[in-house]
Structure 1
Amino acid sequence: MSTSGPSVDTLKRDVRTLADDTMKMAQNRFVEPAMDAAQRASVQARKALEQSRDRMNQQLAVAERYAARGYDQTTTWISANPLAAVGIAVGAGLLLSSIFRLSSRR
């Protein structure tokens, strides 16, 4: 038999080179761009999370100030009108107990 064609070792080397080149091209064209896009998405998600956290903290601070102001106004009114405050508390207690009593009958 004549061996005029490439040898088996040459074919193995060529196949290995083709496989390596294919892996490098896949890495450059698909994997690296996907990793870059994932990194950018991660950075954007962190920024959005930080912005949301900052907004929530600001809203919480506003709500705390509002609640503190309401508490201060209520305690000031109760101190100025103790008998009226007791009357309102008794009336609210009677109303709630009536509602609970009616709802427990059903």
Structure 2
Amino acid sequence: MNEGNYSDAFMFPYAYKELGLGKLVGMPVAGTGTAVWWENLIDNSLTFGIPMVGSWGTGETHATENHELEPDIKVLNDYNKVLTGDDQQLEAAVKEMLKAISK
């Protein structure tokens, strides 16, 4: 997961954590799990989203919208390394998975 995740890319790590499937690795993700219906004005000068469906976690009394999701292991990608194709978040996640299967 990373700080660029939005909408469904928030819901996947949220569900992963909620179901206890494993650790989340990366950076916090903004809570943006509301399904939106996209509309355009007749002249297409403006596109806007109308919220249609919210999401709730197990036992929660409020929607997940605007509730930031924190990773278990924070890893910030270095911008210059990303430019060369290195993804420290992905590398850290793979290392964590390899630790889990070697137990």
- TM normalised by structure 2 equals 0.20
Larger RCO, structure (CA 8 Å, separation 6 or more): 2
Greater helix fraction, Structure 1 or Structure 2: 1
Q: Is the radius of gyration larger for structure 1 or structure 2?
A: 1
Greater strand fraction, Structure 1 or Structure 2: 2
- TM normalised by structure 1 equals 0.19
